[in-house]
Amino acid sequence: AQSVTQLGSHVSVSEGALVLLRCNYSSSVPPYLFWYVQYPNQGLQLLLKYTSAATLVKGINGFEAEFKKSETSFHLTKPSAHMSDAAEYFCAVNYAGGATNKLIFGTGTLLAVQP
């Protein structure tokens, strides 16, 4: 069965520092991978998605993620953290494909940004 593992339930960085949020997937076939962000008291918003077109995926708000098949990883990065990046981030994998688009989510990483 497909699954995703997010290492680190809480990550704290200083404003202006590199953000690195880790995600590893397990899949017997090339997956579709997603990063979502959740701000307090809101639903999830799509940050970016990997659909096999390019291994380096750029998303909104300066975030990007690199698909590394050899490491089964899809880590999320941002060169310089901003206070507004404080939120919870979820990695997800599509395990049905096609129009059904059912997602399995990781347990989430709460990002804190210190001034």
By beta-carbon proximity to another protein, the closer residue of 33 and 81 is 33
x/- letters, 46..85, toward another protein (CB under 8 A):
x--x------------------------------------
DSSP string, the chain: --EEE-S-SEEEEETTS-EEE--EEE-SSPPEEEEEEE-TTS-EEEEEEE-SS-SEEE-GGG-EEEEEGGGTEEEEEESS--GGG-EEEEEEEESS-TTT--EEE---EEEEEE-
Cβ pair 14, 111 in contact under 8 A: no
Interface residue with another protein, options 28, 29, 41, 70 (CB under 8 A):
41
CB of 72 to another protein, least distance (A): 18
Both tokens assigned to 84: 């507004």
Choice from 58, 107, 112, 114 touching another protein (CB under 8 A): 107
- Rounded to a whole number of angstroms, the minimum distance from the CB of residue 43 to another protein is 3
Using the rule CB under 8 A, give the single segment among 18-26, 37-45, 61-69, 74-82 that binds another protein: 37-45
Closest CB 34 distance from another protein, rounded Å = 7
Output 13 or 92, the one with its CB closest to another protein. 92
